Amino acid sequence: MNIVQAIKMAWKSILGKKGRSALTILGIFIGIAAVMTIVSVMEGVKIESMRQFEAMGSNRINVNIYAGGWDEKGNYTGKDYFPELYDFCNGMKKYVLGVTPNANLGASVSYGTKNSENMQYEYDDNWNLISGPPNCVYGSDQYSVCNNLSISRGRDLAWLDLENYNQVCVMGAKAVQVFFGNADPVGKILKVNGNSFTVVGVYAPRMDVNGNGAQMDNIIVFPYTARRVLGGQPIQEFIVKARDGASMEEAISRLSGFLKGLVDQHTGGYNVYSESNWQKESNEYLTMIGLVLGGIAAISLLVGGIGIMNIMLVTVTERTREIGIRRAIGAPRASIVSQFLIEAAMLCGIGGILGIAVGTLGSVVLSRLLVKMTVYPPVWVVLGAFGFSVALGIIFGSYPAIKASRLQPVEALRAE
């Protein structure tokens, strides 16, 4: 019997027991769909995570300095280390492009009738930010360099703004839209905690074509010396932008040595680490979660495979007389084995195809809901899913097929 005849017989057997075949296929179908959806969505999460890291800029070094204590009112009493850090980083321009504080401040911002205290976050149907209160941050004249930003209108913060305690600010593109609509904000006056701050510039948007990244553009950056009027505790978090990847290790080493001599180890400490390390750890964490979830979903494939074995054993029992006749007229054992393996592989293959279709749909829907982007399963996942489903049929169908081939013709012909 050739391969075409074996496929025709397997297809006829599957159609002859539609209900039983459908239930058998269901186990494979659910497992493949679940695994594909999980793998694709986790890939989408990784892509979104990478996109956010890229939007913030590469070669960033995070510096945390925690020294000092807290008074009875809960205020941090530590020292302001930024002037020393600023001077040190500007003294090693061979390795560093810039340094800036990385600190949020709770501020009430208003312009005309618009007040951040009355704003609620609003999103469109694709979960892109429409409006909401801005994220107010302290920065230096090198904030844009450290955060991969560029000026689209007006000017950036300058060193003299810090030196002269100028009450100015630079707005992100989304923050401008929230407060000013399509009007040019440069030169306008914002009220920040009751103090007047002049808008001197606007950052170019970091949003992609789908609108992702609007939240990152909903910012207002103030000179860190504006703490004199806006208040806030001494800044403990900073960003240092290395010149390139090759400069990062040297910059981290020098920063660590500098801070070791600057910060009193008896009353505090410091951390210096690169964004790439955090990115690597984030990807490893997401991969681990994906493997755990995929492993849980793969249990259904194991159950489906056991179901395949069970159904094929039943099929062998039902077709014992047919097997005896074929063996009696000279059919080789390999022909019997191939017939049942092809039938098992076809059952699992059909389940795999249906699982791929539903898994693709699930990937698209869940990726839109979770990461606000459309993610399709990679080609290697689709091919791997189909190949694995067929292999599953062959593996779990082997025992029934071998058992069928070992039936003695005389005993098989006696079966009712």
Q: What is the pLDDT of residues 166-210, one digit of tens each?
A: 999 999 999 999 899 889 999 999 999 999 999 999 999 875 544
The answer to whether residues 140 and 189 belong to one domain is yes
144-183: b (≥16 Cβ within 10 Å) or e? bbbbbbeeebbebbeeebbeeebbbbbbbbbbbbbbbeee
pLDDT score recorded for residue 69:
62
The answer to whether residues 41 and 161 belong to one domain is no
The answer to whether residues 150 and 291 belong to one domain is no
Assign 60 to helix, strand or coil: strand
Domain boundary among 255, 275, 295: 275
- The secondary structure of 105-135, three-state, reads CCCCEEECCEEHHHCCCEECCCCCEEECCCE
pLDDT score recorded for residue 208:
52
The answer to whether residues 167 and 314 belong to one domain is no
- Cα distances from 315 to residues 10, 25, 110, 323, 416, in angstroms, run 11, 15, 76, 11, 14
Within 13 Å, how many C-alpha atoms sit on residue 340's CB side?
Answer: 31
Domain boundary among 228, 250, 275: 275
Rounded Cα distance, 116 and 29, in Å: 50
The answer to whether residues 86 and 223 belong to one domain is yes
Q: What is the DSSP letter of 76?
A: B
Domain boundary among 275, 290, 321: 275
The answer to whether residues 41 and 80 belong to one domain is no
The answer to whether residues 189 and 225 belong to one domain is yes
Beta strands 109-111; 114-115: pairing state: antiparallel
In 3D, which of 300, 374, 340, 266 has the Cα closest to residue 29? Answer: 300
Task: Report yes or no: 44 and 370 within 8 Å, Cβ to Cβ.
Answer: yes
Task: Report yes or no: 283 and 46 within 8 Å, Cβ to Cβ.
Answer: yes
The answer to whether residues 249 and 231 belong to one domain is yes
pLDDT score recorded for residue 52:
65
Low pLDDT (below 50) residues in the chain: 209-211
pLDDT score recorded for residue 238:
93
The answer to whether residues 140 and 258 belong to one domain is yes
Amino acid at 121: Y
Rounded Cα distance, 216 and 144, in Å: 13
The answer to whether residues 254 and 347 belong to one domain is no
Q: In residues, how long is the chain? A: 416
The answer to whether residues 132 and 222 belong to one domain is yes
pLDDT score recorded for residue 209:
42
pLDDT score recorded for residue 159:
93
Task: Report yes or no: 31 and 355 within 8 Å, Cβ to Cβ.
Answer: yes
In the block, tokens 């956010």 appear at 52
Rounded Cα distance, 78 and 56, in Å: 28
Assign 414 to helix, strand or coil: coil
Q: Which two three-digit tokens encode residue 42?
A: 């986790």
The answer to whether residues 324 and 267 belong to one domain is no
Give residue 397's domain range: 3-50+281-413
Task: Report yes or no: 207 and 214 within 8 Å, Cβ to Cβ.
Answer: yes
| Whole-model pTM over 0.75 | no
Provide the number of structural domains found in the chain.
2
